[in-house]
């Protein structure tokens, strides 16, 4: 099966949905459209309850945790009260963690499209949100400290993302197909680097598991997308259903973690392989060259004990990353290639 990674290079929902439904009809996803402006960024999309409650302040296009706010303790108490109400099943409280329509017009256009057209060929509907590492290393408090390193701020971030994931999963599942929610977490690449020695494996796993738990509670599958060479064993050992990587540039980074990948697949996990490059290199590739890259990678994994058939049956195809900042013609080419590769892999699995 084939799906995409969140962002697309359009400011118009109709064009975005046309790209998505024509190329990824089995697992269509709602489009994030960064070219519409800063309102499509993660603060406005996924952290709006923190802005609304006064925990995050936006000044001169800069968002930060306003811990010097004289109402900080009161705002924090309001947040945890709302969080507990949502956890206990209060639908109104959960709605506070929704995507604002002005910040995610692609989501609401997607919902409207499916209401009007029906699920069509869809087997799943896919959503996505930014991960806690990725956000926590961009957001700071009013003293300039990174939010990820502040235990209280990280806890607020993770709980907000977890309930947002649950809300998104419920909304997409209500359209008549089960949902898949990807946590887009390129920030995980900092793990193990000398400048980030205080970022522990336990922190990463705990935070991702808290988010996946809420997504699973809504009956959805949970995946993580990362587009770098990382310690993949972290994700294999989290409570995830899908692990997605940039297999074009970093496929060989899977090799050292083949035993953990084998266990992940045998537990029913899916490896979503982003084999189509999301840059100009895509014009130098075709279906045959990309399938050959996959075969070369699979041969190395086979040598390390992962049966090719098992891998084929647990493979999903994606572009390497999002296409939100690309030329539209390049994005169309990327998705056309991805569709061809997905078809070829499907035939291999049948054979």
Tokens representing 54?
Answer: 């006064």
Tokens representing 117?
Answer: 């057209």
pLDDT tens-digit series, residues 150-172: 999 999 999 999 999 999 999 99
pLDDT of residue 201: 97
Domain at 334, CATH number: 3.20.20.210
- Supply angle C-alpha 237, 161, 16, rounded to 5: 100
Q: What is the 3-state secondary structure (H, E, C) of 6-56?
A: CECCCCCHHHHHHHHHHHCCCCCECCECHHHCHHHCHHHHHCHHHHHCCCE
Domain-embedded: residue 71: no
* Mean pLDDT across the chain: 97
- Give the domain extent around 160: 13-38+101-350
Q: How confident is the model at residue 203 (pLDDT cuts 50, 70, 90)?
A: very high
Domain-embedded: residue 105: yes
Q: How confident is the model at residue 331 (pLDDT cuts 50, 70, 90)?
A: very high
Domain-embedded: residue 48: no
Domain-embedded: residue 281: yes
Domain-embedded: residue 33: yes
Tokens representing 255?
Answer: 């090799």
Q: Is 305 exposed, middle or buried (0-12, 13-18, 19+ CB in 10 A)?
A: exposed
Domain-embedded: residue 1: no
E-strand spans in the chain? 56-59, 62-65, 125-130, 140-141, 179-184, 221-226, 242-245, 270-276, 315-319
pLDDT of residue 228: 94
Q: How many domains does the chain have?
A: 1
Give me the mean pLDDT over the 182-211 stretch: 95
Specify the length of the chain in residues: 351
pLDDT tens-digit series, residues 129-152: 999 999 999 999 999 999 999 999
pLDDT tens-digit series, residues 286-297: 999 999 999 999
Domain-embedded: residue 216: yes
- The three-state secondary structure class of 246 is coil
Give me the mean pLDDT over the 261-273 stretch: 98
- Answer whether 0.85 is exceeded by the pTM: yes
Torsions phi, psi for 270 (to 5 deg): -115, 135
Identify how many contiguous H helices and E strands the chain contains and give both numbers. Answer: 15, 9
Does 60 have pLDDT greater than 90?
Answer: no
């Amino acid at each position: 099966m084939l799906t995409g990674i969140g962002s697309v290079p359009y400011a118009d929902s109709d064009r975005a949905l046309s790209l998505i439904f024509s190329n990824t009809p089995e697992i269509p996803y709602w489009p994030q459209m960064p070219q519409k402006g800063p309102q499509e960024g993660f603060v406005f999309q996924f952290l709006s309850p923190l802005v609304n409650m006064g925990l995050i302040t936006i000044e001169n296009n800069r968002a930060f945790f306003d811990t010097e706010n004289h109402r900080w303790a009161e705002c924090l108490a309001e947040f945890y009260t709302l969080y507990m109400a949502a956890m206990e099943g209060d639908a109104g409280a959960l709605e506070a963690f929704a995507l604002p329509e002005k910040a995610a017009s692609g989501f609401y256009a997607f919902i409207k499209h499916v209401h009007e057209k029906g699920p069509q060929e869809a087997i799943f509907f896919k959503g996505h949100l930014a991960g806690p590492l990725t956000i926590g290393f961009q957001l700071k408090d009013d003293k300039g400290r990174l939010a990820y390193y502040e235990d209280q701020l990280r806890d607020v971030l993770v709980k907000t993302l977890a309930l947002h994931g649950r809300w998104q999963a419920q909304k997409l599942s209500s359209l008549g197909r089960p949902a898949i929610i990807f946590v887009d977490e390129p920030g995980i690449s900092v793990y193990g680097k000398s400048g980030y020695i205080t970022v522990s494996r336990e922190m990463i796993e705990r935070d991702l598991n808290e988010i996946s738990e809420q997504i699973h509670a809504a009956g959805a599958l949970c995946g993580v997308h990362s587009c770098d060479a990382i310690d993949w064993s972290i994700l294999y050992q989290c409570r995830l259903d899908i692990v997605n990587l940039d297999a074009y540039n970093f496929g060989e980074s899977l090799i050292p973690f083949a035993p953990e990948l084998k266990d992940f697949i045998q537990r029913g996990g899916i490896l979503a392989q982003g084999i189509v490059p999301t840059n100009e290199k895509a014009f130098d590739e075709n279906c045959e060259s990309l399938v050959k890259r996959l075969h070369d990678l699979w041969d190395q994994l086979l040598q390390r004990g992962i049966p090719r058939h098992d891998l084929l049956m647990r493979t999903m195809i994606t572009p390497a990353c999002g296409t939100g900042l690309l030329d539209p013609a390049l994005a169309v080419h990327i998705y056309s290639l991805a569709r061809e590769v997905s078809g070829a892999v499907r035939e291999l699995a049948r054979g």
